[in-house]
Amino acid sequence: MESHPVGVIKVEFISEGEVAELLQSHGIAKVSEDEDHVYCRMGDEAALHHVHLCVPGAGTEPREGAQVYDIEADRMESVLNHILRKLHHNQFILIPVGKWRSVFDAVAFSLAENEEWQAVDAAATVELNTRDPLLADAGDLHLLCDLVGAIIRDAETPDHGLMMITAGVPVVLEIVSAGGVRMSFGNRAVAEEVAEAFSS
């Protein structure tokens, strides 16, 4: 993986075709409940472990067979930051549940002063009405943490949801708008390492 000077943002939109083979190799398929919401879910044959983090009373549905952990609302952002740091050696592929416009609108206020996110926002005019994947390098971890925090705080509807897929190992994180996170792991060692972030 290339290294980039500190302060250089290496976040870029790529085509769906560029990640199709990776998703297939990770056992991840697109699941659509309607044409407005598309989810990337790891199939049970590929996933060794499903985890569901939820804010008590939020009402987000876990995947069947998922291990459920209640995380207080004021801890969810820090727990997610901890999880992302555990996965920091990977490139991340971000795919919205709805269209990018919904995600950008949801986080606009929280990230208005974030120069790095504003640079991504400025470059996203063509992609706003798409679900084109956004590729982020390990060096963009701080920006990803800021973005996830904004979604946890500000997202209100399903189309504000965001899926994060790690390129190096089979892991899917689905940030759900109503105070929940669905996670699937295709690697047991990674699942156990990440569990330290929320099971202690």
Q: In the prediction, which pLDDT does 56 show?
A: 87
Q: In the prediction, which pLDDT does 5 show?
A: 40
pTM score:
0.91
Helix axes 100-107, 141-154, angle to 10 degrees: 80
Q: In the prediction, which pLDDT does 7 show?
A: 44
Residue with tokens 């044409």: 35
Q: In the prediction, which pLDDT does 190 show?
A: 94
Give the containing element (helix H, strand E) for 122.
helix 115-123
Q: In the prediction, which pLDDT does 127 show?
A: 92
Per-10-residue mean pLDDT of the chain, 200 residues long, equals: 46 92 95 88 94 88 92 91 88 95 95 95 90 92 93 90 94 87 95 90
**Three-state SS at 142:** helix
